[in-house]
Amino acid sequence: EDKVVQSPLSLVVHEGDTVTLNCSYEVTNFRSLLWYKQEKKAPTFLFMLTSSGIEKKSGRLSSILDKKELFSILNITATQTGDSAIYLCAPRAGTYKYIFGTGTRLKVLA
């Protein structure tokens, strides 16, 4: 059975801190992994990772995939209150089917 585990479940930090969010997975026919940010609305796309070891960056956010050890991490540096959200990872299992983790709830305090 396909499985995605995200850790920690929740996290409270202060502005300026750096956080690392983890996603481990076991899915059949793995193809790629997506990261999403969800505030009080629909998830918004952050990254798509398909190859091991290649870091994707977007401003203060970066992510990397390890296809051998079956995990991905999402790093956020110099956190801001606007980073407060639920972060979801979703590996793609086979053809066009994404399995979502329950997410990490991040709260950044001013």
Partner 1 sequence: KAGVTQTPRYLIKTRGQQVTLSCSPISGHRSVSWYQQTPGQGLQFLFEYFSETQRNKGNFPGRFSGRQFSNSRSEMNVSTLELGDSALYLCASSWGLAGGSYNEQFFGPGTRLTVL
Residues near partner 1 (CB under 8 A) are 31-32, 34, 36, 41-45, 48, 50, 88, 90, 92, 94-103
Least Å distance between CB 79 and partner 1?
23
Which whole-number Å values give the CA distances from 84 to 1, 8, 37, 109, in the listed order?
31, 14, 9, 9
Least Å distance between CB 82 and partner 1?
19
Based on CB atoms, which residue is closest to partner 1, 38 or 62? 38
Rounded CA-CA distance 53/106 in Å is: 25
In sign, the C-alpha dihedral spanning 42, 47, 51, 52 is negative
Based on CB atoms, which residue is closest to partner 1, 35 or 79? 35
Least Å distance between CB 39 and partner 1?
12
DSSP state of 27: -
